Amino acid sequence: MTPRGYAGKYLNVDLTREKIGDVTFPEETLEQYFGGRGLGAKILWDRIGGKWSEVDPLGPENVFIALTGPMTGIYPGGRICCTGKSPVSNGTVGSTASTEFAHELRTAGYDGVIVSGRADKPIYILVTEEGGEIRDASHLWGTMGEETLKILNKEVSDELVSRDPDVGLMKEPGMIYVGPAGENMVRNACVMTKLCHAAGYGGYGSVMGSKNLKAIVAKGRGPLPEVYAPEAVKLLWKRAHEHLISRDSFRRQGTGYGGWSTGNFYSSEPIRNWQEEWHDERSFGGPMFETRFWVKKQWSDFNCTTGCMKVSCVKTGPWKGAITDNPDYELQSYCGTNFGIYDPEANIHLSALIDNLGHSGIGGANTMGYAAELYQRGILTEKDVGFKLEWGDTEAFDRLARVIAYREGVGDVLAEGTYRAALKIAEMKGLKPEELLRYAVHVKGIEVGAHGTRSDEDFLAHDIGYAVNVQGGDHTSVVRDGYHELSGSVFTDSAVICNFARTPQELMFDFAKAVTGYPITVESWRRLNGPRIVTLQKAFLLLGGPDVTWEPVRDDENPPRFYEPLPSGPFKGRTTDRELVRRRRLVYFETLGWDERGIPKKETLEKLDLGFLEKSMFRLR
Amino acid sequence: MSSIWIVRDYENCSGCRRCELACSMHHEGWMWPEASRIRVFMPFPGVEVPHLCAQCDDYPCVESCPVEALSVDGGTTAVIVDEETCIGCGACAKACPGTVPYLHPRDRKATICDLCGGDPECVKVCREAGYNALRLVHEGMSGHRKLFARNPVDVAKDLAVKFFGEKGEELIV
Amino acid sequence: MTPGGYAGKWLDVDLSKDKIREVEYGDKVLEQYLGGRGLAAKVLWDKVGDKYPELDPLDPKSPLMVYTGPMTGIYPGSRICVSGKSPVSMGTVGSTAATEFANEIKEAGYDGVTFTGKADRPVYLLVTDDGAELMDAGHLWGLDGEKTLIKLNKEVTAELTKRKPNVGLWKDPGMVYIGPAGENMVRNAAVMAKICHACGYGGYGALMGSKNLKAVVAKGRGPLPKVDAPEAAKLLWRRTHQILIGRTAMRRQGTGYAGYSVGAVTSSEPIRNWQEEWHDEKSYGGPMFEHRYWVKKKWADFNCTTNCMKISCIKTGKWKGDITDMPDYELQAYCGTNFGIYDPEANIHLSALADQLGHSGINGPNTAGFAVELHQRDILKDSDFGFKPKWGDPDTFDRIMRMMANREKIGDVLAEGTYRAALKIAEMKGLKPDELLKYAVHVKGIEIGAHGTRSDADYTHDISYAANVQGGDHTSTSVDGYNDMSGAVFTDSAVFCNFTYYGVPQSLVFDFAKAITGFDINLHKWRSETGPRIVTLQRALLMLGGPDLKWTPVKDDDNPPRFYEPLPSGPYKGKTTDRKLVDEKLKAYNETLGWDERGIPTKETLKKLDLGFLEKSVSKLR
Amino acid sequence: MVKPLWIARDPSACSGCRRCELACSMHHEGWMWPEASRIRVFMPFPGLEVPHLCSQCQDYPCVEACPVEALSTDPDYGAVIVDREKCTSCGACIRACPGTVPYLHPGDDKATICDLCGGEPECVEVCTEAGYNALTIVNEGPSVHRKLYSRNPVDTARDLAVNMFGEKGEEVIE
Judge whether A77 and A304 are in contact, CB under 8 Å. Answer: yes
- Residue D104, chain A, CB below 8 Å: the answer is yes
Q: Where are the alpha helices (DSSP H) in C137-280?
A: 145-163, 180-183, 204-210, 230-246, 248-253, 258-264
Are residues C174 and C64 part of one domain? yes
Residue A570 in contact with partner chain B when CB distance is under 8 A: no
Interface test with B, best of C241, C323, C325 (most B CBs within 10 A): C323
Q: Which residues in chain A have Cβ-Cβ distances shorter than 8 Å to D100? A: 168-169
Q: Which of C195, C303, C323 sits opposite B18 (nearest CB)?
A: C303
Closest residue of B to C165, CA-based?
A: B90
Domain D6-169 has CATH 3.30.70.20: yes
Best mutation site among B18, B31, B53, B170 for testing chain C: the one with the most C CBs within 10 Å?
B31
- B123 interaction partners in chain A (CB closer than 8 Å): none
Share of chain C above pLDDT 70, in %: 100
Closest chain B residue to D165 measured between Cα atoms? B165
Q: Which residue in chain C is spatially nearest to D142 when comparing CA positions?
A: C249
Range of the domain at C288: 249-446
Q: Give the mean model confidence (pLDDT) for residues C33-51.
A: 96
Domain boundaries of chain D, sorted by first residue: 6-169
Considering the domain boundaries, does residue C574 fall inside one? yes
Residue of chain A whose alpha carbon sits nearest to that of D45: A150
Give, in order, the Cα–Cα distances in Å from C104 to each of C101, C176, C223, D29: 5, 12, 10, 59
Q: According to the CATH classification, is domain B5-171 in 3.30.70.20?
A: yes
Pairing type for strands C197-199 and C191-193 reads antiparallel
- For residues A112 and A103, is the Cβ–Cβ distance under 8 A? no
Examine the pLDDT at D169 and tell me if it is beyond 90.
Answer: no
Cα–Cα distance list, A385 to A347, A376, A379 (Å): 22, 12, 11
- Inter-chain touch A260–B162, beta carbons under 8 Å: no
pLDDT at D2: 67
From C499's Cα to the closest Cα of chain D, the distance in A is 18
Tell me which of C291, C296, C311, C322 to substitute to probe the interface with D (most D C-beta atoms closer than 10 Å).
C291
Chain A residues close to D29, C-beta within 8 Å: 223
pLDDT over 70 percentage in chain A: 100
Residues C111 and C89 in one domain: yes
Whether chain C has a CB inside 8 Å of the CB on D149: the answer is yes
Whether residue C168 and residue B100 make contact (CB cut-off 8 A), yes or no, is: yes
In Å, the largest CA–CA distance within chain A is: 69
Q: Where are the beta strands (DSSP E) in A211-355?
A: 213-218, 294-299, 309-313, 323-324
State whether A223 and D33 contact (CB < 8 Å): yes
* Separation of alpha carbons B145 and B53, rounded Å: 9
Predicted pLDDT at C546? 87
Whether B128 sits inside 8 A of C245 (CB atoms) is yes
**Which partners does chain D have (≥3 C-beta pairs < 8 Å)?**
A, B, C
Subunits close to A (at least 3 CB pairs below 8 A): B, D
User: Is C513 inside a domain boundary?
Assistant: no
Q: Using CA atoms, how far apart are residues A157 and C453, in angstroms rounded to an integer?
A: 50
| B165 in contact with chain D, both atoms CB, cutoff 8 A | yes
Tell which of C446, C479, C504 closes a domain: C446
| pLDDT tens by residue, C348-379 | 999 999 999 999 999 999 999 999 999 999 99
Provide the 3-class DSSP secondary structure of residue A134: strand
Rounded distance, CA C323 to CA C5, Å?
35
Gap between the Cα atoms of D164 and D158, Å rounded? 10
In D, minimum Cα distance to A195 occurs at: D46
CA distances from B70 to B24, B61, B65, B80, C268 (A): 20, 8, 7, 6, 62
**Closest Cα to residue A370, out of A442, A428, A433, A453?**
A442
The pLDDT of residue B1: 56
* HSE value, Cβ hemisphere, 13 Å, CA-based, for C409: 14
Looking at the complex, report in whole angstroms how far the Cα of residue B115 sits from the nearest Cα belonging to chain D: 24
Provide DSSP, C139-179.
TTTT--HHHHHHHHHHHHHHHHHHHSGGG-PPPPPEEEE--
C170 — pLDDT class (breaks 50, 70, 90)? confident
pLDDT value at residue A307: 86
Band the pLDDT of C449: cuts 50, 70, 90: very high
How far is C393 from C244, CA to CA, in rounded Å?
39
Contact C291 D159 (CB under 8 A): yes
Q: What is the DSSP letter of A207?
A: H
Contacts of B169 in chain A (CB under 8 A): 316
> What is the CA D103 to chain-centroid distance, rounded?
10
**How far off is chain C from D54, nearest CA to CA, in Å?**
15
pLDDT of residue D1: 56
CATH of the domain at C42: 3.60.9.10
Mean pLDDT of C494-511: 94
Whether C455 and C599 share a structural domain:
yes
Residue positions counted in chain D: 174
> D138 touching B, CB under 8 A?
no
Which of D8, D148, D156 lies at the smallest CB-CB distance from C285? D148
Alpha-carbon distance of C421 to B115, in angstroms, equals 60
Interface contact flag, C301 B35, Cβ < 8 Å:
no
Tell me if A302 and D18 make a contact (CB, 8 A cut-off): yes
Q: Say yes or no for a CB contact (<8 Å) between D138 and C294.
A: no
pLDDT less than 70: residues of chain A: none
Count of domains for chain C: 3
Q: Tell me phi and psi for residue D8, to 5 degrees.
A: -75, 140
Residue A171 CA to residue D42 CA, distance in Å, equals 6
Of A167, A223, A321, the CB nearest to D168: A321
Please state the rounded mean pLDDT for residues C151-176: 88
Assess C301–B contact: CB distance below 8 Å, yes or no.
yes
**Whole-number mean pLDDT of chain B?**
91
Cross-strand bridge partners of residue A135: A124
C182 with C262, same domain: the answer is no
Q: What chain B residue is nearest to D168 in terms of C-alpha separation?
A: B165
pLDDT of residue A575: 96
DSSP state at residue A551: P
Flag whether pLDDT at D164 surpasses 90.
no
Contact C307 B100 (CB under 8 A): no
What separation in angstroms does the CA of A342 have from each of A281, A316, A337, C464, D1? 7, 18, 6, 63, 61
Distance between CA atoms of residues D31 and D166, nearest Å: 40
pLDDT tens digit string along C606-620? 999 999 999 999 999
Asked if residue C404 and residue C327 are part of one domain, the reply reads yes
pLDDT in tens, B118-170: 999 999 999 988 888 999 998 888 888 888 999 999 999 999 988 888 888 88
In a domain, C511, yes or no: no
Where do the domains of chain A lie, and which CATH numbers do they carry?
10-218 (3.60.9.10), 230-447 (1.10.569.10), 468-494+505-620 (1.10.599.10)
Q: What angle do CA A389, A393, A397 make, to 5 degrees?
A: 60
Q: What is the mean pLDDT of residues C80-104?
A: 96
Q: Do C241 and B128 touch (CB under 8 A)?
A: yes
The nearest CA of chain B is from the CA of A293 a distance in Å of: 6
Name every chain D residue with its beta carbon within 8 A of the beta carbon of A128.
Answer: none
Indicate whether C562 and C585 sit together in one domain: yes
Could C292 and D162 be called an inter-chain contact, meaning their C-beta atoms sit closer than 8 Å? yes
CB-nearest partner of A107 from D34, D101, D126: D34
Q: What is the pLDDT of residues D72-114, one digit of tens each?
A: 999 889 999 999 999 999 999 999 999 999 999 988 999 999 9
CA atoms within 13 A on the CB side of A420: 19
For C307, the closest of B14, B151, B173 (CB atoms) is B14
D165–chain A Cβ distance below 8 A for any pair: yes
B166 touches chain D (CB under 8 A): yes
- The verdict on C165 and C286 lying in the same domain is no
My answer on whether C457 and C429 are in the same domain is: no
Q: Which residues of D touch C329 (CB under 8 A)?
A: none
A261 closest CB neighbour out of B144, B155, B161: B144
User: What is d(CA A596, CA A583) in angstroms, rounded to the nearest whole number?
Assistant: 11
Which chains does chain C touch, 3 or more C-beta pairs < 8 A? B, D
Kindly list the residues from chain B whose CB atom is less than 8 angstroms away from the CB atom of residue A320. Answer: 166
> Smallest Cβ distance to B41: which of C172, C298, C301?
C172
Interface touch D25/A168, C-beta < 8 Å:
no
d(CA C608, CA D59): 55
User: With contacts defined as CB-CB under 8 Å, which chain B residues touch D167?
Assistant: 165
